[in-house]
C-alpha cells in the first residue's frame, strides 16, 4: 500500500504557509517599527521581498513589507538601489561597526599610583 502524501501547509484561503513565516513575522514587525531604516533594515526588507516574491501565501507579510516601504518613502527599485550600495560598501550581516572610543583614551585602571 502506498504511503499517504502529506498535503502542503496551507492557510484558510488555500494559500501556502511558508516554513519561515513565524521568524519572518518578527523581522517584519521590527521593520515596521523603524521610522528611519538602518542598513540592516533595508537589507532585511529586500531579502524578504525576494523570498516572498511570487509566493502563493503569506499575504500578511507581503502587505506589511509594502507598507514598510511606503513608510520609508521607497519603492522596490529604490530599495534595491540602496541595498546594492550597502553591499558594495562592505556591509556584512551580523558585523557591527566598531564602537568609537569616547574621551581621551587614557585608562586610569592601568595606573601604578593608588
CB 47 within 8 A of CB 83: no
Cα distances (angstroms) measured from residue 21 to each of 10, 14, 17, 18, 24: 12, 16, 7, 5, 5
Residue extents of the structural domains in the chain:
32-91
For the record, the C-alpha cell of 35 comes out as 521610522
Spell out the per-residue pLDDT of the chain, length 114, in tens. Answer: 444 433 344 445 568 899 999 999 999 999 999 999 999 999 999 999 999 999 999 999 999 999 999 999 999 999 999 999 999 999 988 776 555 555 555 555 555 555
Amino acid at each position: 500500500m502506498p504511503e499517504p502524501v502529506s498535503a502542503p501547509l496551507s492557510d484558510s484561503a488555500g494559500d501556502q504557509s511558508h516554513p519561515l513565516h513565524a521568524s519572518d513575522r518578527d523581522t517584519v514587525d521590527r521593520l515596521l517599527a523603524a521610522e528611519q531604516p538602518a542598513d540592516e533594515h533595508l537589507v532585511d526588507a529586500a531579502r524578504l521581498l525576494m523570498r516572498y516574491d511570487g509566493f502563493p501565501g503569506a499575504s500578511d507579510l507581503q502587505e506589511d513589507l509594502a507598507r514598510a516601504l511606503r513608510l520609508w518613502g521607497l519603492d522596490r527599485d529604490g530599495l534595491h538601489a540602496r541595498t546594492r550600495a550597502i553591499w558594495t560598501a562592505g556591509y556584512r550581516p551580523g558585523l557591527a561597526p566598531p564602537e568609537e572610543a569616547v574621551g581621551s583614551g587614557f585608562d586610569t585602571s592601568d595606573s601604578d599610583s593608588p
